[in-house]
Amino acid sequence: MAAPPAVPFVAANAISKSYGGAQALRDASLSVLPGEVHGLVGANGAGKSTLIRILPGVTQPDTGEIAIEGRPVAIVSPHAASGLGMSFIHQELAFVPDMTVLENIMLGLPKKTTRLGLVDWSAIQRDVAPIIERVGITAPLDAAAKSLSTAENWLISIARALVWKARLIVMDEPTASLSAGECRKLFSIIRGLSTSGVAVLYVSHRLDEILDLCSRVTVLRDGRSVAVLGGPDLTRRGLVQAIVGGAVEHLPKSRGAARGEVVLSVRGLCRLPRVTEASFDLHRGEVLGLGGLVGAGRSELARLLYGADRPDAGSMTIEGRPFAPRTPAGAVRAGLGLVPEERRTEGLLLGKSVAFNLSLGNLTPLLASPVLPFISLRKRARLAQATIRDLSIKASSPEQPVGRLSGGNQQKVVIGRWLRSKPKVLILDEPTRGVDIGARGEIHRLIRELAGHGMAVLVISSEPDELPDLCDRVLVMAEGRIVRELAGTDLTRSAIIEASYALTEERVSA
Amino acid sequence: MSDAGYTRRLSPGTRAALGVFARYGTIIGLLVMILVFSFLSPHAFPTYNNFINVLSQASLAMIIAGGLTMAVIVGELDLSVGYAASLHGVLVTGLIVANHLPIPVAVLIELALGAVIGVVNGVIVTKLKVNSVIATLGVGTVLVGLSFAYSAGVPIVSGVPESFLQLALGRWLFGIPNPIIFMALVFGGLWLLVERTAVGQEIQAVGGNPAAARLAGINVDRIKILGFVLSGMCAALTGTLLAARLGSGTTNAADSYLLTAFAAVFLGSATLRDGEFHILGTLIGTLIIVLGFNGLNIFGAPTFSQFVFQGAILIVAVGLASLGRSLAES
């Protein structure tokens, strides 16, 4: 590790933090130079989230020291962190949906007033105009924030940081819900920030983006900062090795397994405007991928399959019987299972135990006797223990609140819920979003295993990398239609990406 | 989670102490209250008779609060319980006095009517998507109107049979007053339902995260309606027992139970758990409030002090519950 050539804008030294008995950070260090795009990577549970909660003063470290431009500081609150020139943009964006773009940019910031003491919006608008232009906000400033896309709301957050004169902006998984085009735009803004002297701490699981953007990368593992890679050392292989801390295990593909009869058949399914026409068959024992850009209509299609929305037209059958779910409960009764995209808000009860969450929606096996309606807590604990073991969920006990687990382990709990009820069809929406490489491999293995036991599995993913490894067959959606089916040797990352853009390009050339 | 407030900056020792206070503060408060009252009034307060008497009085409030707990566990508020209980008191007396129905039949009709009111509340909230505060306040007000329509606002006092009064004033096993027995049955049943049955797991899931419960295949609307139905039935039982105790059906007799029940439920959510509503907590919460009233009565405190006490305790309860949640999340 070469000594940094300049005084870092922020340097965190030997930070330790424990929650109850769990040591989240041990002597972790991080330094970000002025104007640098610095990556922060690590498996889930490696301590990334704790570190980026400590920098903005959301959490206080047990020991360790933070210095801004060489001067030790105490960051007692997010407000104090802003005053020191640090701004944080979190995964879940914080903005007020009903307020305008400009009001959101100025949220919590001191505002110019007229002589009467009223907020002088026209003066503010003049002042922030250069910043608006710099980050490329094209929406009208008086539009309601809720009418904007996720990407545009990112721009609002960045603009807010710049109005605050931030010298370091921390971005946590910024591209998680952005489309490819939106990502490119964000990257060019990040580069622009960097040239104008604003440092960015970029936290992501997407190594391609990290390699593309960052000049140096800090790798956390088990709460320690195990490597700072930069220059020629900064390679994909080097990063993966540092993150995993050992040899990388490759997933053995079990493709070409004889696929069984059709379980779910979908014909002409339509719900405008997002789903214009979808027809496909899903077979027993098959892992079918559903790829495409964000906004192509995949999640909307899944909602139709799951009874969360009703189609305008089209029909479905499960094992030959008509299937027209009116509610998710109806879909579950007909043999469907769903692992939703937003696992924290739609998949789990964070305050409840692992055992409670595992048994949600599948309580019959827990009944103490066939006649009485009572459940046996002993049975629940035993079944939970078995699932925890089978899926190697890292939990201290079945009674641990699920909110305390890492993202990958939370996802395993959601999947584990369907393990015992054995639905005929299991739909997984972005099953490895925000999950580290190690847990991702385990989740993929688990999905293959479920298919191996005869379940028909549909995996929705916006990461083209994910589908070729995992699926027997991939359908690519674009603008509400299934535009291509890929299987066998055609099933590659580049083919998926190509098909995702196909329709758009045809439109452009036409 | 980053909104955990001031608690996140506290030292571990302070957090631990506050955590104990948030979870056990209500129980400590209950014990302190018992000790103080016993010390100040050693002949009147700490006696078996006073204890049974207090518990018997508390039983009616406990039953209605137990029902309200079911509504709040599924994530809704039921503001109709007090008015509903008053209406049930009037109707049950009327059915017995004017229609000469046998007492068990009249009581069963009230329980069924309570369930119907619950279904109405539940359907308005889940199907018409009206906020439960507005829906149940509206339904409750309609119930007040029905009660006036039935009785013209005149209490039904004459001709109430002695056997009906026995429902509330009689004693049964080991000389325990009937209301205590009813209360024990209701709480035993509700506790088993919530903590030990499959439906109970769904009830907890719906209250904890309706979106996750829905996607896990739980019929969220049905569970919410069930919460209102149980709330409505408990209100019916309390209203009936109150009419039996008073020996009359009066149009606004049970209205004040609303505030008592709310204070008890929120106090209960700050007991033993971190701001989560639960049956056992409600039991302890109601006990604190009724004991407080009893103590104030014994010392001849003026009436206004009871309102001050009840209002203050509601605020303290909600404060404690939110402190517990904040500590659990940060």
Instruction: Give domain limits for chain A.
Output: 10-244, 262-509
Best mutation target, B190, B209, B273, B329, to test chain A (most A CBs within 10 A): B209
Which chain B residues touch A333 with a CB distance below 8 Å? 217
CB contact under 8 A, A349 and B208: yes
Residues of chain A contacting B204 with CB distance shorter than 8 Å: 349, 352, 356
pLDDT tens digits for range B168-207? 888 888 889 999 999 999 999 999 999 888 888 889 999 8
Tell the residue number behind the tokens 């983006």, with chain if given: A209
Tell me what pLDDT residue A507 has.
Answer: 42
* Residue A349 to residue B212, Cβ atoms within 8 A: yes
* pTM to 2 decimal places: 0.72
- The dotted CATH code for A10-244 is 3.40.50.300
- What is the chain B residue with the closest CA to A343? B212
Largest interatomic CA distance in chain B: 67
Q: What's the fold here for domain A262-509?
A: Rossmann fold (3.40.50)
pLDDT for A91:
62
| Counts for chain B of helices (H) and strands (E), in that order | 13, 0
Report the C-alpha gap between A105 and A139 in whole angstroms: 13
Segments of A33-142 assigned E as strands: 37-42, 63-68, 71-73, 86-89
Q: Which residues pair with A489 in a beta bridge?
A: none
Distance CA A16, CA A64 (A): 6
What residues of B are in contact with residue A53 (Cβ under 8 Å)? 2
Of all residues in chain B, the percent with pLDDT exceeding 70 is 96
**Nearest residue of B to residue A376 by CA position?**
B196
Could you tell me which residues come within 8 angstroms of residue A486 by beta carbon, excluding any fewer than 6 positions away?
A473, A474, A475, A476, A492, A495, A496, A499
Q: Which residues of A touch B2 (CB under 8 A)?
A: 53, 58, 78, 90
Asked if A10-244 and A262-509 have one fold, the answer is: yes
B193: closest CA of chain A, how far (Å):
8
pLDDT one-digit tens code per residue, B263-279? 899 988 888 887 788 99
Q: Within a 13 Å sphere around the CA of A410, how many CA atoms are in the beta-carbon half?
A: 27
ipTM of the complex: 0.74
Can you state the percent helix, strand and coil of chain A, rounding each to 5?
Answer: 35, 25, 40
In the block, residue with structure tokens 């009064």: B165
Q: Mean pLDDT, consecutive 10-residue segments, chain A of 510 residues? A: 69 86 84 94 78 87 91 86 85 73 81 80 87 86 82 84 89 79 87 92 85 93 89 85 62 55 92 88 93 80 89 92 90 89 84 89 75 82 88 86 85 87 90 79 88 91 81 88 87 77 47
* Chain B residues lying within 8 Å of A359, measured CB to CB: 201
pLDDT at A1: 46
Each as own residue / partner, the long-range contacts of residues A70-74 (CB below 8 Å, 24 or more positions apart, any chain) are: A70/A7, A70/A8, A70/A11
Greatest alpha-carbon span in chain A:
78
Measured distance CA(A286)–CA(A502) in Å, rounded: 26
Number of residue pairs across A and B with CB atoms under 8 Å?
Answer: 90
Residues of A with CB under 8 A from a CB of B: 53, 58-60, 76-78, 90, 306, 308, 327-329, 331-333, 338, 340, 345-352, 356, 359-361, 363-364, 366-367, 373-375, 377, 417
* In the block, residue with structure tokens 């933090």: A17
User: Contact B299/B41 with Cβ under 8 angstroms?
Assistant: yes
Q: Could you report the per-residue pLDDT of B85-143, keeping only the tens digit for each?
A: 999 999 999 999 999 999 999 999 999 999 999 999 999 999 999 999 999 999 999 99
Using left for φ > 0, alpha for ψ between -120 and 50, and beta otherwise, residue B50 falls in alpha
Token pair for A12? 């965190």
CA distance A201 to B17: 36
Q: Helix, strand, or coil here: B79?
A: coil
